[in-house]
Amino acid sequence: MRLKYYTLPLDPELLMQKKEHPGCTLKQSVGHNLHLIITTAFGEMQSDEDFGNSIWDHDFDNLTARTRQQEWMKESLLQAISKHEKRLDGIRVDVLVKQEEVSAFTSERRVKKRLDIQITARLTATSEDITFRDSFFVSPLSYS
């Protein structure tokens, strides 16, 4: 039996109207779940307090060395992905933390911490290699 995967975010309105929700491929479904794991803090999902990662516990940490931050972020993400994305094996996580100047809606410019994340793994169902990339600003979270 072939499984059907659905796009995120889910649209409850379609489900309540008994309409077909848009589907996606296995790769896209894994990508959606990886994004969800990355952007979720522990305790944020009421049905599973262990879902997420510890990046958000240190969101405003400006004292720890960048290389040290990258290492614990990689470890936290690797643990979270290994636990919550069982469709992958051979998981490798790379995190790059850098400062970037961003302009607000005004003429003022600010420096924010940017995370560039790359996850490489293999789909267990097909043995196909995949690469997932995500990047966003933290302190507070915003997408680029």
Predicted pLDDT of residue 35: 94
Average pLDDT by stretches of 10, the chain with 144 residues: 77 87 91 94 86 78 71 93 96 89 68 89 96 85 53
Predicted pLDDT of residue 1: 44
Separation between Cα atoms, residue 26 and residue 118, nearest integer Å:
18
Sorted by where each starts, the structural domains of the chain and their CATH numbers stand as: 5-143 (3.10.450.40)
Separation between Cα atoms, residue 30 and residue 65, nearest integer Å:
31
Predicted model pTM: 0.80
3-state secondary structure of 126: coil
Q: Which of 55, 26, 58 is nearest to 39 (CA)?
A: 55
Predicted pLDDT of residue 32: 94
Q: For the CA atoms of the chain, what is the radius of gyration? A: 17
Predicted pLDDT of residue 26: 93
Separation between Cα atoms, residue 27 and residue 30, nearest integer Å:
5
